[in-house]
Structure 1
């Protein structure tokens, strides 16, 4: 993955973002410290796919802060400006709030002013008693869009109908 242009990113981001060990960090007005990661994910595609993660580093309660949304949007936008790849987002399940996170992520995306440039698909994988929410985000201009969508649908279908 190519390194982000932090000057461009910070021009569009409400919060100042900095890079540290291939991660992107910012601190909110409420002193909530966030860490954003992009990890290669080879579970579905051999290359060109990254998993996006958002982590509240200091576990402070984050109020409904629109600047967090704007900062995350700016970071995702920068990802696609420097890496025309596939982005996956899986909601963290440790506290059973993954459905709420999936709704919030979908709400943010639906309010995003450049959403028409992207295709997003959110799916739920049922594993034992846990629902895992996974989202695929890809630029509509990607020449492999149809193949990417078919591969993602096949992957989700395989895990939705696991043999007993």
Structure 2
């Protein structure tokens, strides 16, 4: 963990593993984040060979000392999460699905922030595909699929995602 006075472009993180492939880091504001990659083969039909490589990415605050619910802006978080995603993609067959939480009606802001983060760290290695699904109550679920361009099922994955979501837009 980086503390006040130390210069770094990201926070140190630790891979905890477990069933959710968890990574943990603590910020200069004594906020602990957990980034999980939960196995989510149910998102795609079992007939797809790649379904066992699908993981839902969850970014959660697990502890917040000295703060009430207000989390201050912290530019190092995006660098840390980008590094964690890169580490997770050491296995190029993995597929990440990011579904923006709608519980507090801030899902559009989360999707925008996640998109900006991806743009900032965009490389030729990864591709992000955005999609939204609207349920019968009118709630819009913002989703993103991230995959390595060298994934052997690249075309099939994008096609399957398009079928599940009813369409997509590429964020090359």
Distance 2:156 2:54 in 1: 13
TM-score by length of 2: 0.78
- Alignment match, 2:39: 40
1:15 to 11, 14, 27: 11
Q: Which runs of 4+ in 1 moved over 2 A?
A: 19-22, 58-64
Distance 1:116 1:66 in 2: 23
Distance 2:77 2:86 in 1: 14
Unaligned runs of 5+ in 2: 1-7, 47-51, 168-172
TM-score by length of 1: 0.81
Unaligned runs of 5+ in 1: 1-11, 159-164
Alpha-carbon offset, residue 142 of structure 1: 1.3
1:117 to 125, 135, 144: 125
Q: What RMSD in Å do the two structures reach over aligned CA positions?
A: 2.0
Aligned residues between the structures? 146
1:130-141 equivalences in 2 (<5 Å):
130-141=139-150
Deviations 1:91-123 (A, max 9, x none): 1111110100000000000010x5221110111
1:51 to 37, 53, 56: 56
